[in-house]
Structure 1
Amino acid sequence: MTSYPHLLSPLDLGFTTLANRVLMGSMHTNLEERGDWNRVAEFYAERARGGVGLMVTGGMAPNAEGGVFPGAAGLFTPQDIAHHRLVTDRVHDAGGRIAMQILHAGRYAYGPDCVAPSAVKSPISPFAPRALDEAGIEKQIDDIAIAAVRAREAGYDGVEIMGSEGYFLNQFLVTHTNRREDRWGGSYENRMRLPVEVMRRVRAAVGRDFIVIFRLSMIDLVPNGSTHDEVVQLARAIEAAGADILNTGIGWHEARVPTIATSVPRAGFAWVTKKLMGKVGIPVITSNRINTPEVAEGLLAGGCADMVSLARPFLADPEFVNKARAGRPDLIAPCIACNQACLDHTFGGKVSSCLVNPRAGHETELVPVPTDAPKRVAVVGAGPAGLSAAITAAQRGHAVTLFDRAGEIGGQLNMARRVPGKEEFHGLVDWFAAMLAETGVTLRLGVEATPDALEGFDTVVVATGVTPRDPGIPGQDHPSVLSYVDVLRDGAPVGGRVAIVGAGGIGFDVAEFLVTGESPTLDLPEWLREWGVTDPETARAGLAPDGPQPEPPVREVVLLQRKAEKPGKRLGKTTGWIHRAALLMKGVQMKAGVNYERIDDAGLHISYGAARERPEVIACDTVVLCSGQESARGLADALGARGVACHVIGGADVAAELDAKRAIDQGVRLAAGL
C-alpha cells in the first residue's frame, strides 16, 4: 500500500503507458554544449534509474537563429543524432522514458540573428530581433517539424514543443510582441495560427505513436498578455492539432513576478492549471514549486492536474520517485528553490548543478565509492559543510563522529530558515538529520571538540564556520547595536527604526526578517496580493489592475553599504531582483557609498565618498551589523600547532557571505576522496 496512490499510478496515453504521473521538467544544464555526451547520458540515466515516469531534456534549438545563445545545442547533423542516441539508449537501458524539448527562443535568443513576429526588443536581451516575413515563418515551422523527426530518429520517446515562458511561439500570441497585420497577426485566431500550425505539422511528421507535449502558457504575468479564454481556446486548438499532453508554463521570463524562487509558495500556481481541467480531453500537467511527494499527491488527488512536473527536485535527488515508492520521503534531498547552482549557473555559462546535491551535472566525475580502508573520521562543525562531509564519508563506510558545541545541527542554516521566504531551509535541516541517522554518524552535540578530544581519530575535518567581522565603527558598543547573529539566532529585541550596516546577502535577509510580519510564502492569497497576481479569468494575463499590494512593513529599515554600487548587485543572478523588489515594496531605503562615522544616542552617523561629504544621521532605535564574516580557524590553528594535519572546509576555509553552495560542495568532494 503506497502513501501516494495518485502519484504512482500509471498514465495511459493510448499508444503507450507511463509508469507514473511524475514528469522531470525541462532544465538546460549546459552539458550538451560541452560535447561530453557520456556525461549527458549519465545525467539522464541516473534520473531514469530513480524511477521518474518521463523526462524532458533541456531546450534543443531547431535552428541557429532559434538557439537561446550562439552555439546552443540542437539536432542539426547526423553526428548530432548519433550523440543524442547515446543519451536515449542509456536512458532506455535504465528503464526510463525521455522526450526532447524543442525550444525556439525568438526574441529571447541572446545573439544578433534573433527573429520574432515583430521587431520588438526584449527587456532581458540587448539584441533587437528581425521581424520574419512569410517565407521566414514557413522556415521556422519546417525547422521545428524537422527537429521533431530527428528526435525520433535519435531514439527519443517524444518531444515537448516549448510554447510558453515568452519564447518564440508565445511571442506570436500577444499584441505586445506581435504587431503584424497579415494572417499571422491581428485577431487572436491569426495570432494563435503559428503554434497551432507547428503542432499540426509536428504531429504529421512524427506519426501518432510518438509522445508530443505542448508547453502552454497558462498565465503570462506580463502586460497585454493572454486572457484565460484565449488560453482555453488555444489549448483546445492544440489538442485538435494532435497534442498528447498539455504542460503548464507560468509567466514570461521578463515578468516581474517570481514564479519558481524559494519565496514562491509551494505549488503556488497549481490553481491556474486546475482551471483548464475538464476543458480539454488530454492529460494536463501542473508545475512550479512542487518539491515533495506529499504536495504532488495532494495536487493530483485534488484534481489540479493529471500529472505533475518537477524539474529542480531531480537535481536535488535523482531518487525522488524511488524513495517515495519505498515510503522514505524523509530521505529525499529537498530542492530549496535557491537557484544558486542551477539557474544561476545556467545563465552564467556554467554547468548546472545543485546546492543540496553537488553531484548533479557531475555524475561521471564525483562518484563516492565504498572505501576499502575504513577510517575513524572526526568532523567538527554541524553546519552545511560538516554535515555533507560527515554523511558522504559515512555512506562510503567510514566511522564518522560529528561534533558541534551547539545543541542542534544546522549551523548558519538555522539563521537562514528564520527569514521569511526561506522556509524551505527547515526541510533541508530535517533531511540532514534523517541522513545522519540513516548513515550511522555518531552525533556529539553540545561538545567542544578540543585537540585533546580529537586524539585517536585517523582523519579530522574542521568545519567550524565563521564569526561576524568587526566593522570597527566608533561607538559600536552602544546599547542599540546588535549583530545579525543576535537578531536571527538569538531573537534579540529590535526597535521600530533600524539601520542595517552591510547590504550583502545577510543584510538583505535581515532586512526581510525585520520588515515582514507573517511570511507570505506560507499564505498563498497574501503572496498573490503582494506580487499583484489575480485570477486570469478576471484580469488579462493574471495581473491585478491595482498592482502589487504588500502588507505594510513591521519596521522602518535603512540598508547601507560602503561599496559605491547598487545595493544587492552581487546577489544571485536570477533571484537578486526578487529580493531588491521585495524590500522596495516594503519601503526599505537603500544607501550606497557610505562611510560609517560613529554610532551614538542620535543614531548612525554617515558620510559619502572618499571626501566624507554630506554628513547625515540615520535616526534609529537599533543598528544591526551585517558587515561580513571571518573564518573561525581557532581549532585548525591549534591542531596545526601540535603538528596534527586536518582538512579545513566551508566558512572556516573561506569566509565569503554564508555560502552553503560552496560549503556543501567542499564537504562532499572532500569526503568522496578520503
Structure 2
Amino acid sequence: MSEMLFTPRRIGSVTVPNRTVFLAHETGFAEDGLPTERDAAYYEARARGGVGLIIGPSSMLVHPSASNPMYASGYDPDVVPRLKMISAACHKHGTKVFAQLQHTGGEDSGEHAMRETWAPSAVPSEYGYEMPKRMEQADIEEVILGFAKTAEHVQEGGLDGIELKAGHDGILRQFISPKYNTRSDRYGGSIDNRVRLVNEVVEAIRDRVGEDFPVGIRLTLDEMEDGGYDYDYAVEVIRRLHPSLDFLDSDIATISKLHITDAPMHAPLGYTAEYYGAARELLDVPVIAAGRINDLTKANDVLEAGDADFVGMCRQLICDADTVRKVRRGEDEEVTHCIACNQNCLGGIHTNGHVGCIQTPRSGRETAIPHIEDLDSAPDPREVLVVGGGPAGLSFAVTAADFGHDVTIREKESELGGQSNIATQVDSRREFGDAVRNLRNQLDNRDVTVETDTEVEAGDLAGESWDDIVIAIGATERAPDLAGPDVHRSWDVLRGEAVGDRVIVFDNNKHAAGVGVAEYLLDKQDCEVTFVTTSYHPGDQLEGTNVPPFLETLYENDVDIETHTTIIGFEDGAAQLLNVYSEEMTTRPADSLVVAERRRARNGLAEAIRERGVDGAVHRIGDCVAPRLIDKAIYDGEMLARELSA
C-alpha cells in the first residue's frame, strides 16, 4: 500500500495529519444535554488509535426545538468546558476534532421536550408520525442564531472546525428538499431559495468564528425517497453552496432509509463510491468518502483513484479504534474488520443505550474496560483448556494469550467458528463469518495450541492437569414441537438436508434464522416458499436496518408472508395454520416444513466435568450458559480472560 493515506492534507486552515476520518454518529453518552467523560474516553481511544480527524461530538443540537437526550445541547454555554475536555483528550495524540452541528427538524419526535417539532413545511417525515410545525420567519431566525451560538461554543471549546449536517436527517436537508420544503416565500420554490437557509447559517457562523475556522457540510447526495431529490438535483445544490465552505462530507438517503445510509452486510463494501466520486469532480475543496469502508488498503485505493481526499470510517473505527495505528505498524492481521451487522452500533443505541460493537467489548465502555496495552501480564500465568472454538472460545483464547496464559483449544469440528459457520451459509450473511475470521487471524499471531476434530467428554480429561477449563460449546437449535419426516430444523437445512419444492418456513426464532433460511431456500434450492410468523413482520427481533433487505428478498421472490399466524399441525402434505388473533384456521399445502426455532444451551459437559472432580476450575461462557447473540459470547470470553489475569 502506498503512503497516500498517511499523508497530511489541509481542510481550510487546519492540517489533518492523515486522510482518515472518524465520522459523526450518536454515542448515547450525553447526560442532561452535555457530553461526558465517556465521550472523551471514547473519542480519545480513536485518536490514540491514529485517526487523523474526528467529527464528534456529533449532532450537537443548535436550538431547544430540536431537543433530544441522545445529543449534546450545543446552544448551552455549559457545553464549552465539556468540549475542552474532549479536544484536550484528542489533541494530545495529534488528532484534529470537528463538531457536527444539527437541528433535527421534522425528523425527530417532540416527545423529549414535550413540544412541537419544526420543519420548513407541514410535511411529515417518512421516519416518524408527527406533523411538524411550519416554521415562521422568527423561528428561522432563531435557528440561524442557534447555529451561530453553537459554532462559537465549539470554537471556545478548543475544537478545530465545524460540520453542518444537511445529511440523512436534519432541518438543513429538509429545507433543501423539494419534498419537505413546499414553501413559496424566500426560503422555498426555487433551488436558490431552498439553499438560502444553509448559506445564511454559514454567514452567521462566519460572523462568529471568522474565516480561518474550517466550516464544511455533510450533504445527502440523493434522498432516495419518492418525491425526494436525486443526484442531479444535488449537483445544483452544490453549485449554490456558500463559497466559504471548506469541505463536503458525502451522505446518501434519508433517515427513513437508514438501511441504505448505514447499510448492513447486504450492501457491498464501498457501495456509495459513485456518489462521492462524482461530487469530487465538482469541487475544489476536500471531499470525504463514506460508505462501508472497512479496510485501509481499499481506503487508500479511493484516494489514489482521485475519488475523495479523505476516507470516512464510522463503524470500522467503532469496531477497532486502533485500525490506523495497527496498519501503520504493519499489523494488518490484527485489525478487527467491521462486518456491518449493525447489532451493537446502531442497534446498541436503542438496546443498550449507547454505541458499541459485537466484536469489541471495550467499544463504548472505554471508561470501564481498560485498553489491554495499558495492563500488565497476568501475575500468575495459567494453563487453560478451552473446549469449543466458536466466538466465545476464540475471544477468550486471544485475550488470555495476550495476558501470557498457556492456552489450548479443542474443537470437535474440522474448522473453528461454531454457529457462525451455519449462519454464513446464507449469502447475505456470509460476511458474518468475518467476525470469526478476525479472531482466527489474531489467534495465528499468538502462541495458542489448536486441536480440531477433537471432541471432549468428561472422561477424556482424566489424568490431565489444567488450572482452568473453559467450556464454550455453544447451543443447539431446539427440536420443533411438530414432528415428522418432512419437518426440518433450519440448521439442518443450512447444513444441506434436502427439502421438497414447496416449503413453508415457520419462524419461531424471530431474529435472523427464519429470514435467513428462507433466503437460502430461495437462492440455493429455488424453492417456492411461504413464510409464517406469529409476529407483525418477518424477523421482528432483528435490528431495524437489517429487516428491509430481507423483506425486499422475500417480496421480490413472491413469497407469501403469513403474519400473526402459528402452525398447529403438519401432515399429509399440508400445514394447519391458525391466526393467533382471529383464531381462524386455514390449510396450506407444502412438501416440507422448515422450522426456525430458539436455541438450547449445551450445558451438560461442564456439569459432567465437575461431577468427575477433574483438576482445574471449570467455567462456562457464551451460549452454553444461555443462548444469546454473538456479542454476548465474545464479551463473555474476553471478560473471563481479563478476570483470570487480574
TM-score of Structure 1 vs Structure 2, range by shorter chain? over 0.9
Name 1:444's counterpart in structure 2: 451
Is it true that 1:492 corresponds to 2:501 in the alignment?
no
Deviation at 1:611, TM superposition (A): 9.5
Name 1:42's counterpart in structure 2: 41
- Matching residue's letter, 2:75: F
- Matching residue's letter, 2:65: E
Is the partner of 1:516 in helix, strand or coil? helix
1:584–1:33 Cα change, 3 Å: farther
1:359–1:495 Cα change, 3 Å: same
Q: How does 1:441-590 map to 2 (within 5 A)?
A: 441-454=448-461, 455-475=464-484, 478=485, 480-488=486-494, 490-503=495-508, 504=510, 505-516=512-523, 554-561=526-533, 563=534, 565-590=536-561
Work out the CA distance in 2 between the residues paired with 1:569 and 1:350.
Answer: 20
Q: Which whole-Å deviations, capped at 9, do the CAs of 1:48-78 have from their partners, x for residues lacking one?
A: 01111101112111121123x2573123344
Work out the CA distance in 2 between the residues paired with 1:348 and 1:146.
Answer: 33
Name 2:23's counterpart in structure 1: 25
Is it true that 1:639 corresponds to 2:609 in the alignment?
yes
- Matching residue's letter, 1:471: P
Is the partner of 1:254 in helix, strand or coil? helix
Work out the CA distance in 1 between the residues paired with 2:627 and 2:514.
Answer: 16
Name 1:667's counterpart in structure 2: 637
- Matching residue's letter, 1:440: D
- Cα pair 2:16 2:52 within 8 Å, conserved: yes
Instruction: Give unpaired runs (5+ residues) of structure 2.
Output: none
Name 2:600's counterpart in structure 1: 630
Deviation at 1:177, TM superposition (A): 1.0
Name 2:194's counterpart in structure 1: 191
- Cα pair 1:595 1:606 within 8 Å, conserved: yes
Is the partner of 2:503 in helix, strand or coil? strand
Moved over 6 A (4+): none
- Cα pair 1:39 1:363 within 8 Å, conserved: yes
Work out the CA distance in 1 between the residues paired with 2:353 and 2:76.
Answer: 25
Name 1:531's counterpart in structure 2: none
Is it true that 1:434 corresponds to 2:441 in the alignment?
yes
Name 1:76's counterpart in structure 2: 75
Q: Which whole-Å deviations, capped at 9, do the CAs of 1:19-39 have from their partners, x for residues lacking one?
A: 211111011111123767322
- Matching residue's letter, 2:184: E
Name 2:100's counterpart in structure 1: 101
Work out the CA distance in 2 between the residues paired with 1:87 and 1:62.
Answer: 19
Work out the CA distance in 1 between the residues paired with 2:583 and 2:73.
Answer: 55
Is the partner of 1:65 in helix, strand or coil? helix
Q: Which whole-Å deviations, capped at 9, do the CAs of 1:368-417 have from their partners, x for residues lacking one?
A: 53321211122211111111111111112221111210111111111222
Is the partner of 1:198 in helix, strand or coil? helix
Name 2:233's counterpart in structure 1: 230
- Cα pair 1:567 1:591 within 8 Å, conserved: no
Q: Which of 254, 260, 264 is 1:261 aligned to?
A: 264
Deviation at 1:211, TM superposition (A): 2.2
Name 1:245's counterpart in structure 2: 247
Is the partner of 2:86 in helix, strand or coil? helix
- Cα pair 1:50 1:322 within 8 Å, conserved: yes
Aligned identity (percent) is 32
Work out the CA distance in 2 between the residues paired with 1:474 and 1:269.
Answer: 47
Q: Which whole-Å deviations, capped at 9, do the CAs of 1:281-340 have from their partners, x for residues lacking one?
A: 101111111111122122222222111110010011011111222233222101111111
- Matching residue's letter, 1:336: I
Using the size of structure 1 for normalisation, the TM-score is 0.88
Is the partner of 2:63 in helix, strand or coil? coil
Work out the CA distance in 1 between the residues paired with 2:215 and 2:77.
Answer: 22
Work out the CA distance in 2 between the residues paired with 1:359 and 1:332.
Answer: 15
Work out the CA distance in 2 between the residues paired with 1:220 and 1:609.
Answer: 39
Work out the CA distance in 1 between the residues paired with 2:87 and 2:444.
Answer: 37
Is it true that 1:295 corresponds to 2:298 in the alignment?
yes
Work out the CA distance in 1 between the residues paired with 2:124 and 2:248.
Answer: 29
- Matching residue's letter, 2:538: P
- Cα pair 1:47 1:318 within 8 Å, conserved: yes
Q: Which whole-Å deviations, capped at 9, do the CAs of 1:101-144 have from their partners, x for residues lacking one?
A: 11210011221332111122223223322111111101101111
Name 2:384's counterpart in structure 1: 377
Deviation at 1:515, TM superposition (A): 1.6
Name 1:536's counterpart in structure 2: none
Is it true that 1:316 corresponds to 2:315 in the alignment?
no
- Cα pair 1:22 1:309 within 8 Å, conserved: yes
Work out the CA distance in 2 between the residues paired with 1:650 and 1:356.
Answer: 13
Deviation at 1:89, TM superposition (A): 0.5
Work out the CA distance in 1 between the residues paired with 2:258 and 2:313.
Answer: 23
- Cα pair 2:16 2:95 within 8 Å, conserved: no
Is the partner of 1:172 in helix, strand or coil? helix
Is it true that 1:150 corresponds to 2:159 in the alignment?
no
Is it true that 1:272 corresponds to 2:272 in the alignment?
no
1:557–1:147 Cα change, 3 Å: same
Deviation at 1:206, TM superposition (A): 1.4
- Cα pair 1:244 1:283 within 8 Å, conserved: yes
- Matching residue's letter, 2:545: T
1:643–1:209 Cα change, 3 Å: farther
- Matching residue's letter, 1:502: D
1:439–1:556 Cα change, 3 Å: same
Greater shift after overlay, 497-506 or 440-449? 497-506
- Cα pair 2:501 2:528 within 8 Å, conserved: yes
1:516–1:145 Cα change, 3 Å: farther
- Cα pair 1:116 1:171 within 8 Å, conserved: yes
- Matching residue's letter, 1:236: R
- Cα pair 1:463 1:649 within 8 Å, conserved: yes
Deviation at 1:220, TM superposition (A): 1.1
Work out the CA distance in 2 between the residues paired with 1:176 and 1:113.
Answer: 20
Deviation at 1:349, TM superposition (A): 6.5
- Cα pair 2:515 2:538 within 8 Å, conserved: no
Q: Which whole-Å deviations, capped at 9, do the CAs of 1:253-289 have from their partners, x for residues lacking one?
A: 1138633211111111111111122211101111111
Work out the CA distance in 1 between the residues paired with 2:569 and 2:428.
Answer: 33
Is the partner of 1:410 in helix, strand or coil? coil
- Matching residue's letter, 2:95: G
1:115–1:588 Cα change, 3 Å: same
Deviation at 1:587, TM superposition (A): 1.8
- Cα pair 1:10 1:18 within 8 Å, conserved: yes
Work out the CA distance in 1 between the residues paired with 2:535 and 2:293.
Answer: 39
1:256–1:653 Cα change, 3 Å: closer
Q: Which of 168, 173, 192 is 1:170 aligned to?
A: 173
Is the partner of 1:98 in helix, strand or coil? strand
Deviation at 1:596, TM superposition (A): 3.5
Deviation at 1:196, TM superposition (A): 1.7
Work out the CA distance in 1 between the residues paired with 2:527 and 2:351.
Answer: 36
Greater shift after overlay, 289-298 or 601-610? 601-610
Name the count of aligned residue pairs: 627
Name 1:141's counterpart in structure 2: 144
Name 1:284's counterpart in structure 2: 287
Deviation at 1:453, TM superposition (A): 4.3
- Cα pair 2:386 2:407 within 8 Å, conserved: yes
Using the size of structure 2 for normalisation, the TM-score is 0.92
- Cα pair 1:515 1:556 within 8 Å, conserved: yes
- Cα pair 1:164 1:216 within 8 Å, conserved: yes
1:183–1:330 Cα change, 3 Å: same
Is the partner of 2:531 in helix, strand or coil? strand
- Cα pair 2:35 2:82 within 8 Å, conserved: no
